[in-house]
Amino acid sequence: MLDVQSLIKAVEKADSAQGLLDAVEDLAAVKSAAAIPTLVKVLGFNNPGAAVAAVEGLVNIGEPAVPYILDNLDDYNYGARAWSIRALAGIGDPMALDLLLRAVNGDFSQSVRRAAARGLGNILWHKLPPQEVLSKQQIVLEALLLATEDGEWVVRYAAIVGLQGLYVSLQGSHRLVESVLGSVPKAIENIEAQRLRPAGENFEHLTAQILHKLQNLQVSDVEISVRARALWALKNLINEKG
Amino acid sequence: MEIETSAPEQLTVEKAIANLTQKEDLGLRYYAAWWLGKFRVKESQAIDALLIALEDEEDRAPDGGYPLRRNAARALGKLGDLRAVEPLIKCLDFPDFYVREAAAQALESLGDKRSIPALIKLLDGGVEAAVGVPGKPHLVQPYEAIIEALGTLGATEATALIEPFTQHSIAKVQYAAARAMYQLTGADIYGQHLIKALEGDDLQLRRSALMDLGAVGYIKAGEAIANTLAENSMKLISLKGLLEKSLQGQAEGDLTETNCQLMDLMDSLL
């Protein structure tokens, strides 16, 4: 077992761009929660190579890193903030949902908007209380639909990836609902099933909106690459269904 | 490097054309020429005003250069009006290096083969003549722009002249030549030359190779692009170039395995 403390020291002592990159990669590889503060600090170093490695390390650590990243968002260092949002997008913890929703339609940087769009398709919905899931999914859907009209092709592309991810998680939630509803006859439905029934009906509404938008983009986007990505999303979703 | 679009300035098309046509305020003219290109103002009056600006004698930089002509040439490259081709060809003989460079780039964008002979002429003397100008940060000719233009214009008659530039001592000139040679011959060796550049130590050169690979759509470079050390924004633009190339000639509605592999790489960089 590698000693995390000595790997952290190596990051702090690195005196060249390449040295820092190597040290961060080594630290990221151990996936230790003890590395979180150091990896977050690296996001502010203005060293893209090291930042990519640090983001990857934080994503691999996952949920335990989220509160620390949220508490240490650097309002005065734009680069660091952008990297933090990339890490949160990669992890997909719903704690970051509000931040991602603000970023996807409102951030001035296309690289933040695209990361947030991808992240919104990657939310770990099972971490939310079940009664909140559907309303939040609806909000995410609206934000992603808006992002498919972004002026930057890469944000529209990422929004399609996000919509594809959301569609897949909607199906997951739907299967869950179906299994609960399927087990009880309607006449003697329990409270849980009564609460879930509207969710089941709403599912069709949300997924239909996604398919409709993808079909639209597949023919109407000005960029052939964006049209191709929409087509690929549709093909993936149809396979998923079948 | 982030690629952002700044908020539109408080100019209108009429105002920009008026600013470009007046003679009192050189700063306003300079800015108007840039603005018309930036916002793709294709009105005939805008082209007329830019063509006049291309012959300007008033606006002179301390180094003897012609800032307004440079901006006018760049703008005309963006506006796609072929009336600009002959005047831009004339600019290739102009004493200001940066006017020649802007003209070569503009002629590349306009895509008109009439400019090929004049571009070829600037390669006179070959690699031996392609040396630096004492005291200036540039070579005697804008070789990168010239060679890239010849590649894009499909100037196969220039192949033998361009080939030696793949060995030029300046890396960016080498890449321009490799890029053009790939466009002109489709030979793998030139695409591989650019892939090799992605492994170099200099970030600027890696970025430059990314743009070149994207521009020619060298499909085999996908993995190398995704793995090079550079900003994801630039890698995505480069991969988009590959994806567009791989989609060419396919019926819309079809996807090949190559298309999907490239999109997979792009997804991973979002």
Please indicate, yes or no, whether residues A39 and A119 belong to a single structural domain of this protein: no
Which residue in B has a C-alpha nearest to residue A113's C-alpha? B270
Cβ neighbours of residue B146 under 8 Å, at least 6 residues apart?
Answer: B104, B119, B122, B123
Is the pLDDT at B35 greater than 60? The verdict is yes
Q: What are phi and psi of B132, to 5 degrees?
A: -75, 155
Contact B96, B69 (CB under 8 A): yes
**Domain tally, chain A:** 2
Point out the domain boundary residue: A76, A91, A106: A91
On chain B, the residues whose CB falls within 8 A of the CB of A117 are 270
CA A154 to chain centre: 16
**Given pLDDT bands bounded at 50, 70 and 90, which one contains residue B43?**
very high
Which residue in B has a C-alpha nearest to residue A234's C-alpha? B253
Interface of A with B (CB under 8 A): 21, 48-49, 52, 108-111, 114-115, 117-118, 151, 153-154, 157-158, 161, 219, 223-225, 227-229, 231-232, 235
Q: What's the pLDDT score for residue B5?
A: 44
Q: What's the pLDDT score for residue A2?
A: 61
Q: What's the pLDDT score for residue A156?
A: 98
Q: Is the dihedral of CA B171, B176, B177, B179 positive or negative?
A: positive
Please indicate, yes or no, whether residues A110 and A15 belong to a single structural domain of this protein: no
State the residue for tokens 């959301």.
Answer: A166
Q: What's the pLDDT score for residue B2?
A: 39
Is the pLDDT at B1 greater than 50? The verdict is no
d(CA A231, nearest CA chain B) in Å: 7
The token pair at A40 is 């977050």
Q: What is the ipTM of this complex?
A: 0.87
Domain membership of residue A118 as a residue range: 93-242
List chain A pLDDT tens, one digit each, 242 residues.
Answer: 568 999 999 999 998 888 999 999 999 999 999 999 999 999 999 888 899 999 999 999 999 999 999 999 887 888 899 999 999 999 999 999 999 999 999 998 999 999 999 999 999 999 998 888 888 999 999 999 999 999 999 999 999 999 999 999 998 877 777 776 666 666 666 666 666 666 666 788 899 999 999 999 999 999 999 999 999 999 999 876 54
Q: What is the DSSP string of chain B?
A: ----PPPPPS--HHHHHHHHH-SS-HHHHHHHHHHHHHTT---HHHHHHHHHHTT--S---TTS--HHHHHHHHHHHHH--GGGHHHHHHHTT-S-HHHHHHHHHHHHHHT-GGGHHHHHHTTTTHHHH--BPTTSSSBSS-HHHHHHHHHHTT-GGGHHHHGGGGG-SSHHHHHHHHHHHHHHH--HHHHHHHHHHTTSS-HHHHHHHHHHHHHHT-GGGHHHHHHSSS-HHHHHHHHHHHHHHHHTTSPBTB--HHHHHHHHHHHHH-
Point out the domain boundary residue: A67, A91, A115: A91
Who among A115, A154, A231 is closest to B253 (CB)? A231
Please indicate, yes or no, whether residues A29 and A134 belong to a single structural domain of this protein: no
> What percentage of chain B carries pLDDT values higher than 90?
85
Q: What's the pLDDT score for residue A238?
A: 85
Q: What's the pLDDT score for residue A188?
A: 63
Q: What's the pLDDT score for residue B3?
A: 41
Q: What is the DSSP string of A147-212?
A: HTT-SSHHHHHHHHHHHHHHHHHHHHHHHHHHHHHHTS-GGG--HHHHHHHHHHHHHHHHHHHHHH
On chain B, the residues whose CB falls within 8 A of the CB of A157 are 266, 270
Q: What's the pLDDT score for residue B165?
A: 98
More confident residue, B8 or B65: B65
Give the integer Cα–Cα distance in Å for A215 and A192: 35
Give the integer Cα–Cα distance in Å for A88 and A82: 10
DSSP 8-state secondary structure symbol assigned to residue A119: H
Q: What's the pLDDT score for residue B4?
A: 43
| pLDDT tens figures, B132-174 | 999 999 999 999 999 999 999 999 999 999 999 999 999 999 9
Q: Give the three-state DSSP class for A57.
A: helix
Please indicate, yes or no, whether residues A231 and A181 belong to a single structural domain of this protein: yes
Please indicate, yes or no, whether residues A75 and A124 belong to a single structural domain of this protein: no
On chain A, the residues whose CB falls within 8 A of the CB of B259 are 228, 232
Please indicate, yes or no, whether residues A220 and A173 belong to a single structural domain of this protein: yes
CB atoms near residue A47 (< 10 Å) = 19
Please indicate, yes or no, whether residues A26 and A110 belong to a single structural domain of this protein: no
Who among B5, B244, B270 is closest to A225 (CB)? B244
Who among A49, A114, A154 is closest to B229 (CB)? A49
Average the pLDDT over B107-118 and give the result: 97
d(CA A109, nearest CA chain B) in Å: 7
Burial A149-179 (b: 16+ CB within 10 A, else e): ebebbbbbbbbbbbbbbbbebbeebbebbee
Question: Residue A204 class from Cβ within 10 Å (0-12 exposed, 13-18 middle, 19+ buried)?
Answer: exposed
Largest CA distance in chain A: 71
Amino acid B93 reads D
The token pair at B213 is 């690979």
Q: What's the pLDDT score for residue A196?
A: 63
Please indicate, yes or no, whether residues A215 and A106 belong to a single structural domain of this protein: yes
DSSP 8-state secondary structure symbol assigned to residue A76: T
Please indicate, yes or no, whether residues A119 and A68 belong to a single structural domain of this protein: no
Q: What's the pLDDT score for residue B249?
A: 87
Interface of B with A (CB under 8 A): 2-5, 229-233, 236-237, 240, 243-244, 247, 252-253, 255, 259-260, 263, 266-267, 270
Q: What's the pLDDT score for residue B7?
A: 45
Contact B240, B212 (CB under 8 A): no
Contact B229, B203 (CB under 8 A): yes
Q: What's the pLDDT score for residue A159?
A: 98
Please indicate, yes or no, whether residues A121 and A9 belong to a single structural domain of this protein: no
Q: Do B260 and A225 make contact, defined as CB atoms within 8 angstroms?
A: no
d(CA B253, nearest CA chain A) in Å: 7
d(CA A67, nearest CA chain B) in Å: 23
Chain mean pLDDT for chain B: 93
Give the integer Cα–Cα distance in Å for B84 and B107: 9
Can you state the angle between helices B257-269 and B232-247, rounded to 10 degrees? 170
* Residue among B137, B113, B138, B140 at smallest CA distance from B126: B140
Please indicate, yes or no, whether residues A100 and A64 belong to a single structural domain of this protein: no
Q: Do B259 and A232 make contact, defined as CB atoms within 8 angstroms?
A: yes
Please indicate, yes or no, whether residues A228 and A204 belong to a single structural domain of this protein: yes
d(CA A136, nearest CA chain B) in Å: 23
Give the integer Cα–Cα distance in Å for A148 and B104: 36
* Residue among A80, A79, A73, A76 at smallest CA distance from A98: A73
Q: Do A154 and B4 make contact, defined as CB atoms within 8 angstroms?
A: no
Give the integer Cα–Cα distance in Å for A119 and B36: 37
pTM: 0.84
More confident residue, B64 or B210: B210
d(CA A15, nearest CA chain B) in Å: 17
State the residue for tokens 């934000």.
Answer: A143
Who among A114, A223, A227 is closest to B270 (CB)? A114
Q: What's the pLDDT score for residue A186?
A: 62
